[in-house]
Amino acid sequence: MSAAQPVTTATFDEVVLKSSTPVLVDFWAEWCGPCRAVGPILDQIADEYAGKIKVVKLNTDEESAIAMKYGITSIPTLNVYVNGEVVKTVIGAKPKPALLKELSDYL
Protein backbone atom coordinates (compact mmCIF):
# COMPACT_ATOMS: atom_id res chain seq x y z
CA MET A 1 0.00 0.00 0.00
CA SER A 2 1.51 3.30 -1.01
CA ALA A 3 0.04 5.97 1.22
CA ALA A 4 0.21 9.69 0.46
CA GLN A 5 3.79 10.84 1.14
CA PRO A 6 4.70 14.08 2.91
CA VAL A 7 6.12 16.91 0.83
CA THR A 8 8.06 19.88 2.20
CA THR A 9 9.14 23.31 1.00
CA ALA A 10 12.50 21.78 0.15
CA THR A 11 11.09 18.97 -1.96
CA PHE A 12 8.04 20.73 -3.42
CA ASP A 13 9.77 21.79 -6.62
CA GLU A 14 11.15 18.36 -7.38
CA VAL A 15 8.20 16.23 -6.24
CA VAL A 16 5.31 18.41 -7.34
CA LEU A 17 6.22 21.07 -9.88
CA LYS A 18 8.61 18.95 -11.96
CA SER A 19 6.56 15.77 -11.85
CA SER A 20 5.75 14.09 -15.14
CA THR A 21 2.45 12.78 -13.80
CA PRO A 22 -0.33 14.88 -12.22
CA VAL A 23 0.18 15.49 -8.50
CA LEU A 24 -2.56 15.88 -5.92
CA VAL A 25 -1.35 17.94 -2.97
CA ASP A 26 -3.35 17.70 0.24
CA PHE A 27 -2.85 20.87 2.31
CA TRP A 28 -3.62 19.73 5.83
CA ALA A 29 -2.81 20.15 9.53
CA GLU A 30 -2.85 17.93 12.58
CA TRP A 31 -5.54 19.96 14.37
CA CYS A 32 -8.00 19.97 11.48
CA GLY A 33 -10.79 17.42 11.95
CA PRO A 34 -11.96 17.27 8.32
CA CYS A 35 -8.31 16.81 7.22
CA ARG A 36 -7.96 13.77 9.44
CA ALA A 37 -11.25 12.44 8.07
CA VAL A 38 -10.21 12.73 4.44
CA GLY A 39 -6.62 11.47 5.03
CA PRO A 40 -7.40 7.74 4.76
CA ILE A 41 -9.43 8.34 1.58
CA LEU A 42 -6.43 10.06 -0.01
CA ASP A 43 -4.20 7.17 1.02
CA GLN A 44 -6.59 4.83 -0.79
CA ILE A 45 -6.56 7.01 -3.90
CA ALA A 46 -2.75 7.12 -3.77
CA ASP A 47 -2.72 3.34 -3.72
CA GLU A 48 -5.45 2.63 -6.25
CA TYR A 49 -4.30 5.20 -8.80
CA ALA A 50 -0.55 4.76 -8.35
CA GLY A 51 1.18 5.57 -11.64
CA LYS A 52 -1.64 7.82 -12.82
CA ILE A 53 -1.61 10.43 -10.11
CA LYS A 54 0.86 11.09 -7.33
CA VAL A 55 -0.74 11.97 -3.98
CA VAL A 56 1.31 13.95 -1.46
CA LYS A 57 0.47 15.90 1.66
CA LEU A 58 1.79 19.21 2.83
CA ASN A 59 1.58 20.11 6.49
CA THR A 60 0.49 23.75 6.51
CA ASP A 61 1.84 24.30 10.04
CA GLU A 62 5.35 23.26 9.15
CA GLU A 63 5.43 24.42 5.54
CA SER A 64 3.47 27.64 5.77
CA ALA A 65 5.48 29.38 3.01
CA ILE A 66 4.12 27.04 0.33
CA ALA A 67 0.61 27.24 1.77
CA MET A 68 0.81 31.03 1.63
CA LYS A 69 2.23 31.00 -1.87
CA TYR A 70 -0.82 29.11 -3.10
CA GLY A 71 -3.25 31.27 -1.12
CA ILE A 72 -4.51 28.48 1.09
CA THR A 73 -7.00 29.84 3.63
CA SER A 74 -9.07 26.75 4.21
CA ILE A 75 -8.08 23.18 4.89
CA PRO A 76 -8.25 20.58 3.65
CA THR A 77 -7.53 22.08 0.23
CA LEU A 78 -6.63 19.61 -2.50
CA ASN A 79 -4.73 21.09 -5.45
CA VAL A 80 -3.93 19.13 -8.59
CA TYR A 81 -0.71 20.21 -10.33
CA VAL A 82 0.05 19.42 -13.95
CA ASN A 83 3.34 20.70 -15.40
CA GLY A 84 3.83 22.91 -12.37
CA GLU A 85 0.45 24.63 -12.66
CA VAL A 86 -2.61 24.29 -10.45
CA VAL A 87 -5.31 22.83 -12.70
CA LYS A 88 -7.89 21.85 -10.12
CA THR A 89 -8.78 22.82 -6.56
CA VAL A 90 -11.10 20.93 -4.26
CA ILE A 91 -11.93 22.55 -0.95
CA GLY A 92 -13.16 20.65 2.09
CA ALA A 93 -13.36 16.97 2.96
CA LYS A 94 -15.53 15.01 0.55
CA PRO A 95 -16.54 11.36 0.39
CA LYS A 96 -14.49 9.17 -1.91
CA PRO A 97 -17.01 8.86 -4.77
CA ALA A 98 -17.40 12.66 -4.84
CA LEU A 99 -13.63 13.14 -4.81
CA LEU A 100 -13.07 10.63 -7.60
CA LYS A 101 -15.63 12.46 -9.68
CA GLU A 102 -13.89 15.80 -9.07
CA LEU A 103 -10.54 14.27 -9.96
CA SER A 104 -11.76 12.17 -12.89
CA ASP A 105 -9.84 14.18 -15.51
CA TYR A 106 -6.55 13.25 -13.86
CA LEU A 107 -7.10 9.61 -12.96
Point out the residues that are catalytic: 32, 35
Binding of another protein by 4 (CB under 8 A): no
Binding of another protein by 88 (CB under 8 A): no
Of 51 and 97, the one with the shorter C-beta distance to another protein is: 97
Name residues contacting another protein, limited to 34-63 (CB under 8 A). 34-35, 37-38, 40-41, 60-61
Binding of another protein by 97 (CB under 8 A): yes
Binding of another protein by 29 (CB under 8 A): yes
- CA distances to 10, 35 from 25, in Å: 15, 12
Binding of another protein by 25 (CB under 8 A): no
How far apart are the C-alpha atoms of 79 and 54, rounded to whole Å? 12
Residue 24 β-bridge partners? 55, 80
- Phi, psi (degrees; rounded to nearest 5) at 26: -95, 110
Where on the chain is the footprint of another protein (CB under 8 A)?
29, 31-35, 37-38, 40-41, 60-61, 67, 71-75, 77, 89, 91-97
